[in-house]
Structure 1
Amino acid sequence: MSNHNILLMYTITPKNHSAFQRMNALIQYLSEKGHNMHVLCAPDDDYSHYQYKDNVSFHFLKDKGLFKRLDFKKSDGKIFHKIKAICNVAISYLIPNPNYNWTKRAYNQAKEIIKKNNIDTIISSYAPNAPHLVSLKLKDDFPKLKWIADMRDEMSTSPYLKRLARYYTKRCEQKSVNNADAVVSVSEPILEDFKRFCKTPSVIFKEIRNGYNFDADKTSPLTNNERFTITYLGSFYGDINPNNFLKALSNLMAKQKLDIKVNFIGRSIPIKIPDNLKDIVHTQGAVPYDEVKVHMKQADALFMIYPTINRHGVYSGKLFEYLASGKPIIGMLDPTDVASKLIKQTNAGYTSCNSDIDGIEATILQAYTAWKNKEVLERDWDLVEDHHRSKQADKFDALIQELHQG
């Protein structure tokens, strides 16, 4: 097994925790394997919280473009938050590549990094398009470079893209899957979509899922809570909302008195809480990533939701951390999709379709009854531990070795 000089490009920052954790794990574990990591990314003060080996070099490049997406901050008031949201929507409609300035400058800086450090491998991460666009030009300049296009999620088929952005993203997508040496995504269904665009037989397609990056908690999930505490950690937006969960819980509480408490922790759209639940449903803003494990530890069950829509292959980053927490999961999910299947394979919880109110009600009651009787699900820890971030980095390492042996 040989070590390589790798250029990793992305524009997400530690503030974007769920997306950033994948990049952070690659830096951490590939460098531990002896690869020399050169990271070209957007600057962020939060990097000071992370410790990396000496064979990791950061090349920070600020996006000086006029039209770029605005970051949301905890200090933003409601009006300022709405103004930022409107601006971001306008940018997504009107500006096909809001990271144009970063793309142009990153290309020039990447060329210098490649020449000075004998780079032989590029890993570019979407979204946005910018890292792939830079890699396309670098592949033309340095044909012997091995390029891994890490898509993570969908590109042009994403339901969140506006028309103009979808058009330009599709162009980037088609060029990337046909010019990269390997294309990586978090699930097989998403990977199959990328294969449809590929006319280059030599391209390797590889599923490398997201994961968790802490020691799995195999101790008893039971707590001393007087009430069955269900916790949701993450944002609510669009179709990802707790409306049907609250309807089902309201119906259940109207039928029988249950000792239940619900915590929604994270950024959220306005939530309409039924009158009979107002004393038991509590909302809290986003918490630092380091506090997430504390809230998981204090819960009796962890709640996750993904609507049953015409979109497949979405695990949701929180699923893997939920699995490692040892707590039972209450999942409102498409029963035919990957997240629900993984929960069943690991015996980690209870699931029902998000559109099935009666089914959700039954699922909540099933989890509550198990808690009341102090019953613990026997989790498949071997399968859970296959999703540690280090194992996912192992797959990237194996892919790098395969590309350079070919």
Structure 2
Amino acid sequence: MFKQFYWLAREATHRRLRKVRNLLDDIAEQTRVLWLFTRHVALQRPPGFAGTPPCRTKRSVLVISYYSPPYRSIYGTQRITKSMKFLVRMGWEVTLLTTSPSLPDERDDLAESLTDSIHVVRLPAPRLKSVHGGKGSFVPDDFIFWVRPAVAAAQLLVRERGISLILGTAPPYSNLLAGAICASMCKLPFVPDFRDPWSRIDVGWIIDKPGLRHLNAWMEKIIIRHSARVVITDDLKYVGDFLADASETVRDKVVSITNGFDEEDFDGIPLAEGRRTKFTVSYVGSLYDQETFDNLLEPFRLWNEHHPEDLRQVEFVYAGAHSKYFNNAGALPFGLRDHGYVSHREAIIARMNSDLQLFSQPAYFKPHIYSGKIFEMLRVGVPILAITRTDGAVATLLDRTGAGIAQYRHEDVAVILKDFFEKWKRGERLTTPDGAVVSAYSRETLANRLASTLEETLVLP
């Protein structure tokens, strides 16, 4: 009995010691990364790339992105994958420094792969310290454990490949630390590409602790000031909502490059022919939370209360990873066809085979938030009903393109659904999109803008 107690106590002590050692190792690594950043970036004078570009004459870019295919698109892989694809076609030499998925549920082997023309270097994915995947107590995020290996690998690639500039994509924001540190050490221009805000983010990568938010804002401001150009996915009028530093000097080097659609993703997908026997409404993609789901469901319930005979002719098509919301909702007012999580191509097909596309955002989203899928919905050509704030970027986009309408109040959405349904029954067009305006959001057009932005940091023959 005593021997058993001894071994149990010894094992418990060893576990506690391991936790203490791991904690000390984590603190040490955080300190090393912060010191590296402070020494090579924060304490250095911001380079004057805006006025006098460095003498770099080669279109050769090193892209630093923790996530890339075959990681699932939920990790934000599509934007950088499409950008690199078209940069290569424009004559750029693209080198990608990234990691490999270590878990099966991180992979999507059906997704678009990287073109062979991209030189890809993969580092082992370090273990994430937070069960929340990037929302722990580290600065800027739980991916700091790849910063020093990434800097070391990036320096080697700069020498071996003749790199002219570095492009970092975020989140995760540790990509930007690695990029800024390496760019400073190698005297190269650095361009951060923000898919989402950093210290001002209020969705997904939320920084809850005020102290950490202030420290992140400090790092963000320094990186912005040391950047040759700054790319954001929002319209320029929202710079003050997006960046921690929106001074006039910073605004002069901020470029808006939204997300978009790739025309080649639609190759070989036939257009639906003829009128469907049921009014088919689709929602494809993630559901942010219960409020987002309620915004979808409640207007149909209101419609059903007044016109139950209509709903017998309505089919709701869902494709995404959040079927649980439908399963837990009880009796639904419509017939449901739930595809679950599907490939990108299957998602496009689901949208194209519907009469109305739904888009939904919760009320706490700030006006500047787009969500990348709205641009692909534009290209699909099926009318869009966006359940979102009417003073936001999505509403403005739909109004500018003529692709749909935005409304938030459930009662108003129910009226619009009924109106679209009646037009569908009469065989009338629900919307008339402006193709010329929509085409401005093609990935190729946007990549051209990125290429021009990168070229501004170089001296080309």
Per the TM alignment, residue 250 of structure 1 is displaced from its structure 2 partner at its CA by 1.0
Is the contact between residue 93 and residue 163 of structure 1 (CA under 8 Å) also seen in structure 2?
no
Of 30, 52, 57, the residue aligned with 2:115 is: 52
Moved more, 161-170 or 43-52: 43-52
Matched ranges for 1:135-284 at <5 A: 135-143=179-187, 145-160=188-203, 161-164=206-209, 166-188=213-235, 189-194=237-242, 197=245, 201=249, 204-215=253-264, 223-238=274-289, 241-256=292-307, 257-258=309-310, 259-268=313-322, 270-271=325-326, 272-273=328-329, 275=331, 277=333, 280-284=335-339
Deviations 1:151-186 (A, max 9, x none): 111111112413245344323312221111111111
Identify the residue that residue 375 of structure 1 maps to in structure 2.
Answer: 428
Cα pair 1:29 1:393 within 8 Å, conserved? yes
Q: Are residues 1:63 and 2:125 paired?
A: yes
Check 1:389–1:148 CA distance in 2 against 1; reply closer, same or farther (3 A cut): same
Q: Distance in 2 between matches of 1:21 and 1:51?
A: 10
Residues 178-224 of structure 1 show CA distances to partners (whole Å, capped at 9, x for unaligned) of: 11111111112543335551568376100000001125699977743
Q: Write the mapping of 1:96-135 to structure 2, written as runs, cut at 5 A.
A: 96=139, 97-135=141-179
**Cα deviation digits, residues 93-117 of structure 1 (max 9, x gap):** 3333311221110000000001111
Please list every run of 5 or more consecutive structure 2 residues that lacks an aligned counterpart in the other structure.
1-56, 102-106
* d(CA) in 2 for partners of 1:389, 1:338: 19
1:361 is the counterpart of 2:414: yes
SS state of the match for residue 116, structure 1? helix
**Runs ≥4 in structure 1, deviation > 4 angstroms?**
215-223
Secondary structure, in 3 states, of the residue corresponding to 2:325?
coil
* Structure 1 letter corresponding to 2:82: A
Q: Percent identity?
A: 18
Q: Which residue of structure 2 lines up, in the alignment, with residue 347 of structure 1?
A: 402
1:306 partner letter: Q
Partner of 1:398: 452
Judged with a 3 Å threshold, the aligned counterparts in structure 2 of structure 1 residues 247 and 199 are, in CA distance, closer, same or farther, namely: closer
Q: Unaligned regions of 5+ residues in structure 1, if any?
A: 69-86
2: CA distance, partners of 1:200 / 1:131: 26
- Which range moved further: 44-53 or 159-168? 44-53
Contact 2:195-2:233 within 8 A present in 1 as well: yes
How many angstroms does 1:275 deviate by? 2.9
Q: Normalising by the residue count of structure 1, what TM-score does the alignment of the two structures yield?
A: 0.86
CA distance in 1, matches of 2:230, 2:347: 31
Match of 1:389 in 2: 443
After TM superposition, the score normalised by the length of structure 2 is 0.76
1:313 touches 1:338 (CA, 8 Å); kept in 2? yes
Q: Could you give the per-residue CA deviations for residues 259-291 of structure 1, whole angstroms, max 9, x where no partner exists? A: 1111222122534536351x5134332111121
**Deviation, structure 1 residue 237:** 2.6
Alignment CA distance shift 1:137-1:199 (3 Å): farther
The answer as to whether partners of 1:31 and 1:53 remain within 8 angstroms in 2 is no
Tell me: CA distance 1:317–1:156, structure 2 relative to 1, closer, same or farther (3 Å): same
Q: How far apart, in 1, do the equivalents of 2:254 and 2:347 lie?
A: 33
| CA distance 1:51–1:276, change in 2 (3 Å) | closer
How many aligned positions are there? 382
What amino acid sits opposite 1:385 in the alignment?
S
C-alpha separation between the residues in 2 aligned to 1:52 and 1:283? 32
> Which secondary structure does the structure 1 equivalent of 2:456 belong to?
helix
The verdict on how the C-alpha distance between 1:253 and 1:48 changes in structure 2, with shifts beyond 3 A counting, is closer
Contact persistence 2:261–2:442 (CA under 8 A)? yes
Residue 76 (structure 1) aligns with:
none
Q: 1:105 and 1:248, CA in 2 relative to 1: closer, same or farther beyond 3 A? A: same
Distance 1:334 1:309 in 2: 9
Confirm or deny: 8 A CA contact 2:58 2:164 kept in the other structure: no
Q: Which SS does the other structure have where 1:230 is aligned?
A: strand
Q: Distance in 1 between matches of 2:253 and 2:370?
A: 22
Cα RMSD for the two superposed structures: 2.7
